[in-house]
Structure 1
Amino acid sequence: MERLAFLVAFSLVAITAPGAFCAKILFAYPIAVTSHTQVYEPIIEALGQRGHNVTVYAGLAPRREMPPNVNLHISKQLENVLSGDSGPLNNSFQTLRTPLNFKMIFNSFDWPRQWCEEIMQDPVYHNLWNASNDTVFDLVIVSSAFNECVYGLIWRDKLPFVLVSPTGMFPWVGYAIGNPSYVVAAPTLFLSSSSNRMNFMERLSNWAISVIYGAIYYWNSAPKTSNVLRQYFPEFPHPNEVTKNASLYLLNTDISMDYPRPLLPSVKEIGGLHCRSAQPLPEDLESFVTKPGSSGLILFSLGSTVKGVHMPPQFRAVFTEVFRRLPEYQVMVLISRG
C-alpha cells in the first residue's frame, strides 16, 4: 500500500512539474559593428544563463564574458573586413562628406552581396554549415542588418527564426513581415532628423524615402544576395520570402525614446536591454572629469564604424579649433578603440 501511494505521488509530481527544456540556438551576426554587438550580447548571455546551448557565429568577438554553454565561432576573415583598413565600411570620411550622399546610399545596398561572398567563403561558416548536418538547431536568431546570407541555412533546414535589429525597424523588413512604416506620423529609420510633427513636405519625404529604400532593397540588393546563395542553394528564393516567416522581430527602440507607431504583436521593443549599472571611473579619469572650476565635460565620439584615427587633417583642425573656443569645459575625444 505504501509503495502504491509512493508511485501515485511520484506520478502526480512528474506530471505537474514543469519540464526543463534546453534548446540548441544559433545566434548569427557575421556582419555587425561594435555598437550592434552591444545589442546582441546581453541576449546571448541571458540565453546561456538560462541553460540553453547557444552557438554564436560572428565577425567580432563578444566583449563581455559568456557562460560556458555559449560556443563562440568568431571569423577572423570577417573581422578583417569589419575592422580592418579595407572593405566597404572604411574610407568613411570621404563617403560621408555631404549630409545626403546618394552615391554612398546606393553603394551601401551592394554591401550585402560583398559580405555574402565573404561569408560563403569563410571556413568558420563552412565548419558550422557542415556541423548543422548533424546538429539540428531548435531556433536561429539572426541580425536583420544586412545578414540575409545566413538565410541559406534557415531555408535549407526550415528552421524557426527570430530577427533582431540593432536599431529601429528597417523599411524592407517591415514590409516583408506585414508591418510597413507608419510614414504619416512617425519618421522612418532613415529620416531621424524629423519629429512626428511633420508638415506635408516632410511627410512626403518620409514616404518617398521609405518607398525608395524598400524598392532598392527589393529589386537591387536582395536579388544580388540571392544570386550568391543560389550557387550553394540552387532554389533559394527572394530573401523576403524567408523574412516574412520570422516568428519574432526585436527592435532596439523604446517607447520612451521613440515616437509612437503601430507594431504587430510579433514585433517587440527591447531598447535599453544592454544598459548596466554605472561603475566608478578610474582615478585619473575621475579627476579629469571633475576638475575644479570646470563647467562640465564634452565627450566626442564618432561611434564604432567611423574611426577618428582616419580623420583627415583638415577635419581634425576644424574640431580642434571648435573645442579650443570652449576653455571652460573638459573635452574628451575618442579617437579609436584599442
Structure 2
Amino acid sequence: MLFITIATSGMDPRQSAVVGNLLNPSYTFSLATTYSVPMSLWQRLINTFTHIAVPFLWRHWSIVPEIQKQITARFPDLPPLLEIERNSSLSLINSHFSISQTIPMLPSQVEVGAIHCNPAQPLPQDLETWISGAGPEGVIYFSLGSKVQGSSMPTKYRDAFIESFRRLPHRVIWKYDVELNGVSDNVLIKKWLPQQDLLGNNKVKVFITHGGLLSLQEAIYHATPLLSIPIVVDQPRNALFVKNKGLGETLLWEELTADALVSTLTKITKNPQ
C-alpha cells in the first residue's frame, strides 16, 4: 500500500486534479485566479484554462520533472512520483475549509491545514527584553517568509518601510537577511525569528506578511491582525480573504508608500475588532 503526503506552503493541492479529485472549474478556483463568487462567464473560461494548464505544467514541465531527477539520483529503485500519486491511499492536504473554499473531497483526502501550529513558547531573552520595552504601543512584526529575501526588495519599497517605521510609535521586529543601514532606533533587524512564538505574544499588534499559506494559518491560530502585501501565486487570493473576513488590511506593492503604510498600520492598531 502506497501513501502520499501533500503538504505545501504555496499552493492548495485541491485546486488541481490531484489523486483523482476532478473539480468543477465553474465554481472551484484554481491556484492562479483571484475572483469573487459568482464568477462571470469570462472568469470561468480563464479559470477552466488554468485548471488544465497549471497542473499540466506543474507535473510534466516544471516542478515534478526536476524533483524526479533528484529523487531518481538518490533512490533509483523508487517508483516514479506520478505513479506513486496514482496509487496513493491517503492524501494529507495542507488546507482547511474554514480559511479556504469549501469543496467536495474524496474519502482518501484529509485536510490537515494548521496542524503545525502550536501555542507560543517563551522567547529568547533578547527578543523578550525588546518586546517588553515597547510599552503600551506594542510591537509590529514584519516578515516576507522563508523564500523571499529582503535584500531583493526594490530600494523604493525598502525606503518606504524604513521611513514609515521611523514615524510609528511602535517598536518593529523586521526579518531581513542582511544588515540594513538607516533604520531608526525602534527597529530590530534579525535574519531568522521564531514566528509562532512572536505571533502568540500579546504585545505583537500587527503582522506584516506576504500572505503565504503557512503565515496566514499561523496568524489566524494566534489571532494576530494582518497587513497583507501579496507577491505571487496564492498570496493575492489569501490577501483577499484577509480583507473580506476582517482579519486585517491589504496593500499592493504598486501603491506602497510611507504614507500608505503609516495610515494602514495605524488603522489596524486602532481598530478594536
Normalised TM-score (structure 2): 0.51
What are the ranges of 5 or more consecutive residues in structure 2 without an aligned counterpart?
A: 177-190, 194-273
Per-residue deviation, residues 14-54 of structure 1 (Å, max 9, x unmatched): xxxxxxxxxxxxxxxxxxxxxxxxxxxxxxxxxxxxxxxxx
Q: CA deviation at 1:224?
A: 6.2
Contact 2:2 2:89 in 1 (8 A): yes
* Equivalent in the alignment of 2:233: none
Secondary structure, aligned partner of 1:303 = coil
Aligned length: 174
1:212 to 46, 53, 65: 53
Q: Please list, as runs of the form range in 1=range in 2, the aligned pairs for 1:188-337 lying within 5 A after superposition.
A: 188-191=30-33, 193-221=34-62, 222=64, 239-281=81-123, 282=125, 283-289=128-134, 291-292=135-136, 294=137, 297-325=139-167, 327-335=168-176, 336-337=191-192
Counterpart mapping for 1:25-36 below 5 A: none
Cα separation, partners in 2 of 1:317 and 1:267, compared to 1, 3 Å: same
Q: Which amino acid counterpart does residue 170 of structure 1 have in structure 2?
A: P
Q: Is the 8 A contact 1:300 1:333 kept in 2?
A: yes
Distance 1:278 1:228, change over 3 A: closer
**Cα deviations by residue, 1:302-331 (Å, 9 ceiling, x for unpaired):** 101112245454442132234345x24433
Please give the alpha-carbon distance, in whole angstroms, between the structure 2 residues aligned to 1:253 and 1:271: 4
Give the C-alpha shift of residue 169 in structure 1. 3.6
Alignment partners' CA distance in 2, 1:166 and 1:225 = 14
- Measure how far apart 1:332 and its partner are: 2.3
In structure 1, list runs of 5 or more residues that go unmatched.
1-158
**Sequence identity of aligned pairs in percent?**
31
Cα contact 2:29–2:47 (8 A) shared by 1:
yes
Q: Is the 8 A contact 2:2 2:84 kept in 1?
A: no
Root mean square deviation of aligned Cα = 3.4
Distance in structure 1 (CA, Å) of the matches to 2:43 and 2:139? 35
Q: Offset of 1:237 from its aligned partner?
A: 7.7
Mapped contact 2:131–2:139 kept (Cα < 8 A): no
Secondary structure class of the residue paired with 1:215: helix
- Residue 265 of structure 1, CA deviation: 0.6
Supply the AA of the counterpart residue of 1:202: Q
Q: Kindly indicate whether the alpha-carbon contact (under 8 Å) linking 2:4 and 2:84 is maintained by their aligned counterparts in 1.
A: no
1:168-197 CA distances to partner (integer Å, 9 max, x unpaired)?
Answer: 54369x425111244322322333x43444
Q: 8 Å contact 1:226–1:237 — kept in the other structure?
A: no
How far did 1:334 drift?
Answer: 1.2
Aligned to 1:183: 25
Q: Once the 2 structures are TM-superposed, how far is the Cα of residue 258 of structure 1 from its aligned partner?
A: 1.1
- Contact kept, 8 Å, 1:223 with 1:238, in 2: the verdict is no
Aligned residue for 2:142, secondary structure, equals strand
TM-superposition CA deviations, 1:130-184 (whole Å, max 9, x none): xxxxxxxxxxxxxxxxxxxxxxxxxxxxx62222222454369x42511124432
* Kept in 1: contact 2:95–2:111 (CA 8 A): yes
Change (3 A) 1:324 1:205: farther
- 1:253–1:164: structure 2 CA closer, same or farther, 3 Å change rule? same
How many Å separate the matches in 1 of 2:72 and 2:93? Answer: 29
Question: Which structure: larger Rg?
Answer: 1
Task: Give the residue type in structure 1 aligned to 2:51.
Answer: S
| 1:246 Cα offset (Å) | 1.0
Shift of 1:214: 1.8
Distance 1:288 1:181 in 2: 51
TM-score relative to the length of structure 1: 0.43
C-alpha distance in structure 2 between counterparts of 1:280 and 1:227, whole Å: 42
